[in-house]
């Protein structure tokens, strides 16, 4: 008769080790957190201060308009004139009535340049209009 059984040595490990998976997830998270600010800023703009931080959506129905000093406009990173901007926004609003326009304007921009973009959006019944600014630092 055997005194010791060898059953314990035949037991297989039925659990998955998730430590390498978590390590990979954290590394990817860190990479995306570092590279995201580099991908967003296309035009050098100093945003005005605000009390609440703004978020940028990644939805395809969202268009980014940037207004830099001197009244230069960019639509999704491409330079565009005000007349071209109006025709593009008119076409976008007819194709997709739920289009959203994000406006980023430099803090030194004259109000008339910013108002021109808002006026185009209102004339084309674009109700999704958001304005970007940088959050105030708590002191």
What does the pLDDT look like over 46-63, one tens digit per residue? Answer: 555 655 554 444 445 788
In this predicted structure, what is the pLDDT of residue 57?
47
What crossing angle do the helices spanning 82-95 and 111-123 adopt, rounded to 10°?
30
Within the chain, all domains assigned CATH 3.30.420.270 are found at 49-135
One pLDDT digit (tens) per residue for the chain, 139 residues: 555 555 555 556 677 888 999 999 999 999 988 887 776 656 566 555 655 554 444 445 788 888 888 888 888 888 889 899 889 888 988 888 888 888 888 777 788 888 888 888 888 888 788 776 665 555 4
Separation in Å, CA 127 to CA 52, 75, 81, 119: 21, 18, 22, 11
> Does the structural domain 49-135 have CATH classification 3.30.420.270?
yes
Q: Which two tokens stand for residue 8?
A: 């314990």
| Beta-strand runs (E) in 20-98 | 49-50, 62-68, 72-75, 78-80
pTM greater than the 0.75 cutoff = no
Q: How far apart are CA 103 and CA 62, in angstroms?
A: 10
Judged by DSSP in three states, 128 sits in strand
pLDDT digits 0-9 by tens, 67-78:
888 888 888 888
């Amino acid at each position: 008769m055997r005194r010791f059984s060898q059953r314990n040595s035949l037991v297989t490990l039925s659990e998955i080790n998730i430590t390498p998976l978590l390590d990979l997830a954290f590394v990817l998270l860190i990479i995306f957190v570092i590279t995201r600010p580099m991908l967003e800023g296309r035009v050098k703009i100093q945003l005005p201060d605000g009390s609440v931080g703004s978020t940028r959506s990644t939805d395809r129905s969202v268009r980014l308009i940037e207004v830099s000093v001197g009244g230069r406009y960019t639509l999704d990173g491409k330079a565009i004139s005000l007349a071209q901007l109006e025709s593009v926004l008119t076409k976008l609003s007819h194709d997709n009535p739920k289009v959203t326009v994000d406006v980023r304007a430099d803090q030194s921009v004259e109000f008339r340049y910013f108002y021109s973009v808002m006026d185009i959006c209102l004339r084309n019944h674009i109700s999704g209009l958001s304005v970007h600014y940088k959050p105030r630092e708590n002191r």
